[in-house]
């Protein structure tokens, strides 16, 4: 969610019980603006918080002119001092997916793999050392996993230019209340997968400038999202059951929308059995 509208936005997603103390909100409001100035980002989003055993990671994302380009990610342990995370790689995501259990809250903490594949076994044989992964690498990989799976935007909020760059749609005035209650009105803000598999006939009714992402209506497993009206029916709130703690909000007929994550950084692997 936008750093400039953080206090109001956190209030709109507070129905789930998670949030920040007034002190943390005040500190974040100031430090995120300084972060934007120091790193010269066009926009800064407050991504959320991953709670560890001994501490919490507060996460921010910095954006450039192309909103679909890889984002710069930073973490803080006290909401004041920020540290830049390394760029994520597919190897990091794969390694992090094999780790189980809570985050520790210490970026330098090293994990040992409980399960080894052939590559790990070969490395152990050659080096004589157990393969390790630092918590900092697990942190950036987990953020990437969550963004890919449940980072969402309303339909029409962003447009894709003929050159391929993505920017905010200045003509976007929000979804109607009827549209806002449908999963088909929300898109994953990441590289599309299902869209590429559609036939030319299915793509005929799509607007390439706005319908360039995957819709939530085909998410697997079905039922992994809840849609609720809150604040007297003035706010539509979507919550992910796959990554518990991810909350998206949108005020219909306005430009107010965003998502935030407050959780332990673990995927809900039991979801298929809960539906």
- Asked whether 9 and 258 are in contact (CB, 8 A), the reply is yes
Spatial distance between the Cα atoms of 78 and 23, rounded to a whole number of angstroms: 11
47: pLDDT strictly greater than 90: yes
Between 143 and 197, the more confident residue is 143
Burial 165-199 (b: 16+ CB within 10 A, else e): ebeebeebebbeeebbeebebbbbbbeeeebeeee
Strands 257-263 and 43-51: parallel
- Asked whether 37 and 23 are in contact (CB, 8 A), the reply is no
Packing angle of the helix pair 135-150, 90-97 (nearest 10 deg): 100
Whole-number Cα distances in Å, 68 to 64, 76, 107, 212: 9, 24, 27, 11
115: pLDDT strictly greater than 70: no
Residues 67-83 have pLDDT tens digits of 888 899 999 999 999 99
pTM: predicted TM-score of the whole model, two decimal places = 0.88
Task: Output the six-digit token pair for 142.
Answer: 């987990």
What percentage of the chain reaches a pLDDT higher than 70? 88
Between 116 and 31, the more confident residue is 31
228: pLDDT strictly greater than 80: yes
- Asked whether 246 and 266 are in contact (CB, 8 A), the reply is no
Ranges of each domain in the chain: 1-85, 90-113+120-141, 151-264
Give the pLDDT of residue 76.
95
What percentage of the chain reaches a pLDDT higher than 90? 53
- Asked whether 53 and 103 are in contact (CB, 8 A), the reply is yes
Residue 122 — very low, low, confident or very high, per pLDDT cuts 50/70/90?
low
Strands 257-263 and 246-250: antiparallel
H/E element, 110: strand 110-112
Lowest-confidence range among 80-84, 101-105, 204-208?
204-208
Spatial distance between the Cα atoms of 123 and 62, rounded to a whole number of angstroms: 36
Give the pLDDT of residue 213.
87
pLDDT, mean over the chain: 86
Give the pLDDT of residue 193.
80
Beta-carbon contacts of residue 107 (< 8 Å; ≥ 6 apart): 75, 83, 134, 135, 136, 139
227: pLDDT strictly greater than 70: yes
3-class secondary-structure state, position 29: helix
118: pLDDT strictly greater than 60: no
242: pLDDT strictly greater than 90: yes
Give the pLDDT of residue 127.
57
Residue 125 — very low, low, confident or very high, per pLDDT cuts 50/70/90?
very low
As a whole number, mean pLDDT of residues 258-273 equals 91
Burial 230-259 (b: 16+ CB within 10 A, else e): eeeeebbbbbbbbbbbbbbbbbbeebbbbb
Residue 21 — very low, low, confident or very high, per pLDDT cuts 50/70/90?
confident
Give the pLDDT of residue 161.
86
Residue 218 — very low, low, confident or very high, per pLDDT cuts 50/70/90?
confident
């Amino acid at each position: 969610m936008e750093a400039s509208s953080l206090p109001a936005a956190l209030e709109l997603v507070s129905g789930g019980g998670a949030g920040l103390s007034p002190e943390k909100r005040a500190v974040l409001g100031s430090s995120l603006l300084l972060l934007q100035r120091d790193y010269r980002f066009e926009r800064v989003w407050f991504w959320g918080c991953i709670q560890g055993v001994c501490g919490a990671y507060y996460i921010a994302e910095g954006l450039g002119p192309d909103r679909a380009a890889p984002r710069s990610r930073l973490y803080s342990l006290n909401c004041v001092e920020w540290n830049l995370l390394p760029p994520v790689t597919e190897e990091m995501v794969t390694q992090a997916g094999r780790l189980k259990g809570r985050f520790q809250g210490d970026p330098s903490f090293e994990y040992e793999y409980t399960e080894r594949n052939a590559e790990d076994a070969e490395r152990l044989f050659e080096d004589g050392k157990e393969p390790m992964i630092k918590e900092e690498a697990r942190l950036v990989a987990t953020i990437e996993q969550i963004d890919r799976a449940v980072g969402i935007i309303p339909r029409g909020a962003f447009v894709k230019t003929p050159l391929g760059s993505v920017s905010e749609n200045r003509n976007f005035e929000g979804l109607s209340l009827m549209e806002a209650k449908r999963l088909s009105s929300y898109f994953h803000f990441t590289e599309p997968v299902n869209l590429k598999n559609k036939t030319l006939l299915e793509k005929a009714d799509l607007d390439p400038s706005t319908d360039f992402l995957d819709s939530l209506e085909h998410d697997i497993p079905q039922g992994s999202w809840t849609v609720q009206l809150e604040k007297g029916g003035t706010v539509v709130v979507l919550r992910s059951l796959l990554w518990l703690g991810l909350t998206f909000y949108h005020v219909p007929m306005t430009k107010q929308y965003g998502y935030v994550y407050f959780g332990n950084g673990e995927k809900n692997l039991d979801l298929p059995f809960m539906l």
